[in-house]
Amino acid sequence: MDLRRLEPFALEHHGLVSRSAAAGLGISTSSWYRAIESHLLEPVSKNVVRLIGVPITREQRILAAVWSAGSDAFASHRSAAYLWGVDRPAGDPIDVMLSKRSREATVADVVIHRPRDLRDMRFVMRSKIPCARPARVLCDLGAVDDQGVYDALEQILATKVVTAKAVRAALKRHAKSGHDGITALRAALDRWQLHERVPPNVLEAKMMALLRTEGLPAATFHARVEGYEVDFLVDGTPVVIECDGYGAHGLDREQFEFDRVRNAELLAGGHPVVHVTWLQITKSPVATASRIRAVIARWAPAALAGTRST
C-alpha cells in the first residue's frame, strides 16, 4: 500500500488514521490489514492505527481513545481540560464521554463516561480532537478531581474562551440535574469571585513588587493620561499597564466599548497599553514582566538603562 495516500491525513491528526478515514481515502479493507501485517502501520485499537515512527503524544493518545470509542465520543473531564490549556498532571487517565447514554464502549486504559445529564453535549474541535465545550468541562471536572476545579476555572477564564457569566449560567443549568461536579464548581466560582475583587492597595503593592523584583522601572498608580485614569504609568516612559479583571471586563457591553475607545485614544497619544490579569501577575510574574519589558524596550529603551534583563 502506498502510505503517501494516508500521510497528509495522519500528519493533521497526530499521526493517526482511523479505518473510516482510510476508507474515505480509497484504502480497501484488505490493504488496511496487509499494511498492519507488514508493519507499515501500527495498530492502536481495532479501528485506529499510527504511522510508524511518529512520536507518541498526549494529544495522540486522547484522539486515539476518542476514535476508538465511536463516532459520538469526545474528550471530556481531565482530558478536555488539558486540551483547553489547563495544566494537568502527566499521569492523568484519559476521559472520553459518549453522547448516547444507551450505548456502551470499552477502550483499554480509558475512562468512559455515560452521563445522565445530557445538556451541553455538542462538542467542538480542539487540536483536531472532538472535545467537550469549556463550560461543560468545568461542570464535569469536579466529579473526578474536585481539587483541580479552581485552577481549571482560573486558567480557562484567562484564555477568554468562555466568560464567567457563561460558566455561572452553565452551573445553574446543570445543578438541576444533580450533576456530579457541580458542588466543586460552585465553590470554585465563589472563591474566584473573592479573588476578582482585588483591593486597590493590594493591586498596587503586588505590581510594584513585581516591577522591583524583575528589575523594571517603578510605576505611578492611578496616573492621569490623556484625560483618563489608568492603572499604572511606567515612570519615565509612555507605557500604560492595565490590570483586567474577568468580572469587570468583557461582560458589560458599555464597559467593553469604552475600553476600546480609551485604548485607541491612549495609543493615538503615544501611550501603548499592556493588558495583564491578576492571575498573570500572581501566577506568571516572570512572563508578565517580560511582556512589559518588551514594550518598554520598544517605546522607551532609555528607561531600561541600568536595569537587569531576564
C-alpha dihedral sign at 210, 212, 216, 219:
positive
β-strand partners of 300: none
- Rounded to the nearest integer, the mean pLDDT of the chain is 88
Among the CATH numbers 3.40.960.10, 3.20.20.120, 3.40.50.410, 3.20.20.370, which is that of 200-304?
3.40.960.10
Domain range list for the chain: 3-51, 58-195, 200-304
The amino acid sitting at 93 is P
Residue 78 has pLDDT above 90, yes or no: yes
pLDDT tier for residue 103 given thresholds of 50, 70 and 90: confident
pLDDT tier for residue 153 given thresholds of 50, 70 and 90: very high
**pLDDT score, position 62:** 97
What value does the mean pLDDT take over residues 52-77?
94
Lowest mean pLDDT among 1-10, 19-28, 204-213: 1-10
Which DSSP string corresponds to 144-211?
A: T-GGGHHHHHHHHHHHTSS-HHHHHHHHHHHHTTT-TTHHHHHHHHHHHHHHHS--HHHHHHHHHHHH
H helix runs in the chain, sequence order: 7-12, 19-24, 29-37, 58-69, 77-83, 134-141, 149-159, 164-175, 182-196, 200-213, 253-268, 278-283, 285-299
**pLDDT score, position 310:** 53
**pLDDT score, position 1:** 63
Residue 138 has pLDDT above 50, yes or no: yes
CA separation for the pair 281, 90 (Å, rounded): 25
Q: What angle do CA 42, 46, 51 make, to 5 degrees?
A: 20
Q: How far is CA 217 from the centre of its chain?
A: 31
**pLDDT score, position 306:** 67
**pLDDT score, position 259:** 79
Decide which of 302 and 277 is more confident: 302
pLDDT tier for residue 202 given thresholds of 50, 70 and 90: confident
SS3 118: coil
Residue 246 has pLDDT above 60, yes or no: no
pLDDT tier for residue 251 given thresholds of 50, 70 and 90: very low
Question: Cβ neighbours of residue 11 under 8 Å, at least 6 residues apart?
Answer: none
pLDDT digits (tens, 9 = 90+) for 277-300: 877 888 889 999 999 999 999 999
Q: How far is CA 68 from the centre of its chain?
A: 25
pLDDT tier for residue 155 given thresholds of 50, 70 and 90: confident
| Range from 136-145, 183-192, 245-254, 299-308 that averages highest in pLDDT | 136-145
Q: How far is CA 60 from the centre of its chain?
A: 18
What the block records as the C-alpha cell of 107 is 477502550
pLDDT tier for residue 243 given thresholds of 50, 70 and 90: confident
pLDDT tier for residue 3 given thresholds of 50, 70 and 90: confident
What value does the mean pLDDT take over residues 118-138?
94
Residue 248 has pLDDT above 80, yes or no: no
Decide which of 82 and 260 is more confident: 82
Q: How large a percentage of the chain has pLDDT more than 70?
A: 91
Residue 67 has pLDDT above 90, yes or no: yes
